[in-house]
Structure 1
Amino acid sequence: MKAFFCSLLILMGAMHGAEWTEMRVWTSTSGSKVSAEASSLTNGQVTLETKSGKRITLSIRKLIEADQKFLEAHFSKKHDGNSGEGAKPDATLVTGKILGPIEADHDSSYHLYIPESLTSGVEAPLLLWTGGGGGKSEDLKRLINGAEIIGMILAVSVEAKEGGEDQWPVSLAHCKDCVRHITRTTPVDSDSIFYGGQKGGGAVAIHNAFKMGSAGTF
């Protein structure tokens, strides 16, 4: 059962695409507005995620021209770890040590481990771990050996945790903040973001994988 559960998480984690946009107001060509994050743009279809967790998929052509240009620019961006504006500073990365808590956006934070085996200039997969009662640096210790073997960056959200119905969107928001911050500051391959957790944290990981998956998958 454990092996199947881990495989399921890996498959769902692989569905994650490019980095989500910030929360912003989108305007349709008919004048209606919605506040949401854009999670993906695939084959001309954009998926918007509201703060309450509602998912809206529509043709990009139904949005005003300014929003169309914003989406096309955002989802066509390629991270360059070597040069240019927004380059990820490989030379300044601290490897082989659990760091944190590191402050992300909107009162979210996480612990981070970058493997010593990481090759400079190469983007690495990311595993975001979640605990049933919140994340601790100790959660990453058991994962370090594997991370060194495959060159995977590890992180655990401090605030995300299992809870009632009201807690799901809160934990999801914390995890999105962490992923967004990590992909901005470390050489993460945005197409190789995985989710995992133990006990109640595993349920949070499954929820994250579905909610942060690519458009057209579900």
Structure 2
Amino acid sequence: MLLRSKTYLLSLLLLSTQINAAPTEQRLWTASNGKTVNASITAIEGDKVVMKKDDGKTVKVPITIFIQEDQDFIHKHFEAEIAEASKPSGSDSQPATDLPHPQGEVVGPIEASNGAHYLLYLPKSLKQGRKAPLMFYTHSGGGNKNLLNTISEGAETCGWILAISVESKNKNDFQDNLKKCQSCLEHIYETLPVEKERTYFMGNSGGGAMAFANSAENKCTGAMPNVGYIPDGHDPKGKDYFIIGGGKDYNRYTSAHANKKLGKKAIHRMHPGGHGVSPKWLMIDGMIWLQTRYLAREQKDHMDEAADFEVSMLNWINELKAKEPYRAYATAKLLLSEYEPTSKNKAAIESISDELGKEKTNVLYYEALQDINDLSEDVLSGFGSGSKMKHSDPKVIKAVDKLLKKYTGVPIIEDTLKAIADKTV
């Protein structure tokens, strides 16, 4: 029983500073030293209880002064309220129905105009009567179902519709690719519940360049280019950019150059790999970053969506923290630093952040994300915007060695830094 009591008190401390419920009955409470007091208990504050005595006076005393029987009574009385307070609080919006395509699977190719086609993923998390953001994907080798399936978890978590151009690919004329993408977008806007202004573009390599170009040519909210470059004649400013790059990628300097050019609305997230499709987990992190950034600005006009996003994020973080606590911590910190959760959900997010923040590795992982972005802006961006094969530089190695003194042993981060110091491939 004593172990249960200590565990329960810890959960109270992690959950909130104060738990209120209907007061207990006025009754006689017995301390472990045999003394008694006639009172009701009105609340738990941390590791103390608030007692209202029969003379009307209110006092706070440690819960552990009571005999175990009385401690168990207090726990049982407040337990229902504590459990309710820990539940994420979302909207009452109902799941979407009567959509023109099945949900939870990739469908298509769907024909647009001008010989353009796209594949589509409608998440099960769509809500009835609510328009959703769109993530439009372009790949250097053309679109396929596997690419959409890779990021479907992010679509479900954020409530985004996904589409990928079938025809847009490197071997085609760049302007023709843009026209094919535009035809797909127009068809999607006409047939699906998309909030047009909240279109995002993503892509890999040449598809990443297309993501930059599409974001410059269309009214949109942002993009997630992977190992891409900003094409000449396109100026994608004023939007959110989650730029992904491999540490060994021969385009790492190109991505860093774009990151610096786009300024505070961009971030450069890197992984240990080379040139190619980004790791699934990093693309999902990018979708969450973009969603958080938008809702932080527009929460007042999207209250129901924001509440549902918070619930989705709490569920996602709680699943993630057992296997990748460093990512779970970084996501909780993102929500708390760049976004203002509703009061009830904020307490739960703060609880997770406090819990995971006790592990130094998690804190270092979060801090390293900013340090690597700074490395991108301050050092990597100085090598221009062109691709560089088999390239390394003493200045880069020196900057990485300095960071490795702090981040050796941190998951993903150590390997990423070593890749950045290595020759590009």
**Range class of TM-score, shorter chain:** 0.5 to 0.7
Match of 2:210 in 1: 204
- Secondary structure of the residue aligned to 1:92 is coil
Q: Deviations over 1:160-198 (max 9, x none)?
A: 11247xx11100000000000001111000110010011
Out of 175, 180, 185, which is 1:179 matched to?
185
Tell me, in whole angstroms, the C-alpha distance in 2 between the residues paired with 1:90 and 1:174: 29
The match for 1:113 is 121
Matched residues in 2 for 1:160 and 1:148: separation? 25
- 2:142 paired residue among 128, 134, 141: 134
State TM-score, norm by structure 1: 0.55
User: Any idea what the Cα deviations from partners look like across 1:143-164, whole Å, max 9, x if unmatched?
Assistant: 1000000100000000011247
Q: Does 1:157 align with 2:130?
A: no
Provide structure 2 residue ranges, at least 5 long, that are not aligned to the other structure.
Answer: 1-95, 221-236, 239-425
Name the amino acid aligned to 1:209: S
Q: Matches of 1:209 and 1:113 in 2, distance apart?
A: 21
> Contact 1:90/1:186 (CA < 8 Å) preserved in 2?
no
Which position in structure 2 is the counterpart of 1:125?
A: 133
Matched to 1:144, the amino acid is S
Q: Residues 112 and 154 of structure 1 are in contact (CA less than 8 Å); yes or no, is this contact kept in structure 2?
A: yes
SS of the equivalent of 2:98 reads helix
- The reply on whether 1:99 has 2:107 as its aligned counterpart is yes
**Deviation for aligned residue 1:90:** 4.8
Mapped contact 1:159–1:171 kept (Cα < 8 A): yes
Q: Which has the higher helix share?
A: 2
Q: Greater CA deviation, 92-101 or 146-155?
A: 92-101
Matched-pair contact (CA < 8 Å) for 1:90–1:187: no
What amino acid does structure 2 have at the position aligned with 1:168?
Answer: F
Give the alignment's Cα RMSD to 1 decimal.
Answer: 2.3
**In the alignment, what sits opposite 1:80?**
none
**Paired-residue identity, %:** 37
* 8 Å contact from structure 2 (residues 197, 219) kept in 1: no
Q: Which of the numbers 149, 169, 172 marks the counterpart of 2:175?
A: 169
Report how far residue 106 of structure 1 moved: 1.0
Task: Write the deviation string for residues 60-102 of structure 1: whole angstroms up to 9, x where unpaired.
Answer: xxxxxxxxxxxxxxxxxxxxxxxxxxxxx95133211100000
Q: Which has the higher contact order (CA 8 A, sep 6+)?
A: 1
Q: Which residue of 2 aligns with 1:192?
A: 198
Q: Which moved further from structure 2: 202-211 or 140-149?
A: 202-211
The letter of the residue matching 1:91 is D
Q: 1:107 to 1:90 in 2, by over 3 A?
A: farther
Uncovered stretches (5+) of structure 1, i.e. residues with no partner:
1-88
Task: Name the CA distance, whole Å, in 1 between partners of 2:136 and 2:165.
Answer: 7
**Runs of 4+ off more than 3 Å:** none
Aligned AA (1:121): G
Residues 106-146 of structure 1 deviation map (CA, whole Å, 9 limit, x = unaligned): 11000000000000110000000000011111110111000
1:145 to 2:153 alignment:
yes
Considering fraction of residues, name the structure with more strand: 1
- How many residues align? The count is 128
